[in-house]
Structure 1
């Protein structure tokens, strides 16, 4: 009973943290470029996690280091850039809804890569989910003709990466502590992120002449501390005390938080997009519940 209550608590906390991340990325883009946001976010997060988790790295076994590295790049490094790039063209609320494809892709990834047998119910759920995604993208392009909805592809690529990361942690890193996994990830991430940051002209005078730069940096700091460092540890723990399906179901709740933030910030959200959202979540639910 205690474990059940704990996993639900983690799920709710993560949905609030990650659901708020999309509006923070949007506000960060007012003063920084997508590559500055992604690299700065990775550098700050890496610094935090290595300070608190460096001493535990010796617990990682030699064969596990390759999975730690792959997990880091798929679960943190690349998505930090891809989400920022996507939000240069797509509203934060729509981005969060597309992110709810993670559980569907977790099932697909399990079948394609990890050889986990799928059921007809799961296949049907995946089809329903993609129908909802198509409607969401098409309707979004209609009400926002100035936005390039091809950028939704960056989010879909990220959800595939997240799905792979979840399966890797569950299958190969189950016995490694969540903080140790997170810190180990950034052993590989922090240097490439710093190199990217140096090439983005972040440290130039022109960057800091912007009136919105400090607000943008504050948003990235909040993203790094809560949206990545803390959330990554909590999510790794959630994967270990539950299942990949339950852990990725955090994406069911994130859109609720993100849509509220988006509406408060003046983003357009039509009833048809709401229906598309429900179709996506229905597909996710169908593919991740067993027939009783």
Structure 2
């Protein structure tokens, strides 16, 4: 993608970060019912990383990075993809894809709490409202009888929360680390090294590998979509949008992805959308909005002006 402000390109890019990223939960759920989780993630990211390297070379970009940058991409790849995604895919064996997407949407909340714990950064009043609503939404989500009754559901929930913590810390790590300046190259190294890490994990867990020709058609299609659309096109679209529109508009994917995942999970996988799930989603995503937005809501503007002055939003987008 170019950096030109083409309305058509912008529209296509938003479709990518809304619908494609939202659909990856369902695609992973479909594939993990047949494939071992670490094998699935290893094949996805190692293949995507290699393809990104090829595309980078064809477009004339240098793949040379410093030793420090390589070390940091390995760490970031582990936090986001090796552990963060690999374990999340494993968790999808035990919980619904829409449930996982909603929990993961709480990442800005966890990042804010980590900044408080690690850096002593003060939480602004509007963000405190967001944290409270986020915690209420998560409680409503995990306390459902339908969730508790599923076999190994609490194992899946614990795994998703561990991934959420990993992604959130990764968001802080990349903001402070020396990484390759080209986002495309940076992503290629993160994906490829994470793919190697996941291969090692797959070997240690003694997973049985299989050839793609032996997979069912839904699994084959899911893997192709995860590699080309989820790993390459959507991330390129994300970086394009960060350069041509405001970060607040890009951050709206935080609210749309879980909704897309829930709808697709209901339609393709017959996952239930209960009244409590809908209420939890509304409360949780409202909390995320309070944390992400730069704009004060009229009802709270006097309160926040009195106690905190002008609200300065930190960029929490990963």
Name the residue aligned to 1:44: 47
Q: What SS is found at the alignment partner of 2:94?
A: coil
Q: In the alignment, what sits opposite 1:168?
A: 173
Please say if residues 138 and 280 of structure 2, whose CA atoms lie closer than 8 Å, have aligned partners that are also in contact: yes
Separation in 1, partners of 2:52, 2:11 = 24
SS at match of 2:229: helix
Give the 3-state SS of the residue equivalent to 1:73 in structure 2: helix
CA shift at 1:26, angstroms? 1.5
In 1: Cα distance, 2:244 partner to 2:118 partner: 23
The partner residue of 2:207 within 164, 184, 200 is: 200
* Cα distance change, pair 143–86 in 1 and its aligned pair in 2 (3 A): closer
- Write out aligned runs for 1:59-70 (5 A): 60-70=65-75
Q: Which of the pair has more CA radius of gyration?
A: 2
Helix, strand or coil at the partner of 2:105: helix
Would you say 1:57 and 2:60 are equivalent positions? no
**Pairing partner for 2:225 from 212, 222, 236:** 222
Aligned pairs (5 A) from 1:1-292: 10-53=13-56, 55-58=61-64, 60-113=65-118, 116-139=121-144, 141-142=145-146, 145-150=149-154, 151-172=156-177, 176-197=181-202, 199-203=206-210, 213-238=216-241, 247-265=250-268, 266-290=270-294, 291=296, 292=301
- Would you say the 8 A contact 1:137–1:149 is kept in 2? no
Q: How many angstroms apart in 2 are the aligned matches of 1:67 and 1:52? A: 22
Question: Does the Cα contact within 8 Å between 1:49 and 1:186 map onto a contact in 2?
Answer: no
CA RMSD, 1 decimal:
3.1
Q: Distance in 2 between matches of 1:203 and 1:215?
A: 15
**What is the CA distance between 1:240 and its match in structure 2?**
6.5
Is 1:20–1:261's contact at 8 Å kept on the other side of the alignment? yes
Equivalent pair of 2:38/2:199 in contact (CA under 8 Å): no
Partner-residue secondary structure (3-state), 1:216: helix
Offset at residue 24 of structure 1 (A)? 0.7
Q: 143-152 or 260-269: which moved more?
A: 143-152
Deviates more, 1:84-93 or 1:173-182: 173-182
Structure with higher helix content: 1
Q: How many residues align?
A: 285
Structure 1 residues without counterparts, runs of 5 or longer: none
Instruction: Report if the CA contact (8 A) 1:42-1:77 is conserved.
Output: no
Shift of 1:14: 0.7
Q: Partners of 1:164 and 1:237 in 2: how far apart?
A: 24
Q: Is the 8 A contact 1:132 1:276 kept in 2?
A: yes
Q: TM-score, normalised by structure 1?
A: 0.83
| Structure 1 Cα separation of the partners of residues 43 and 113 of structure 2 | 32
3-state SS of paired residue (1:287): helix
| Mapped partners of 2:11, 2:118: distance in 1 | 28
1:20 positional shift: 0.6
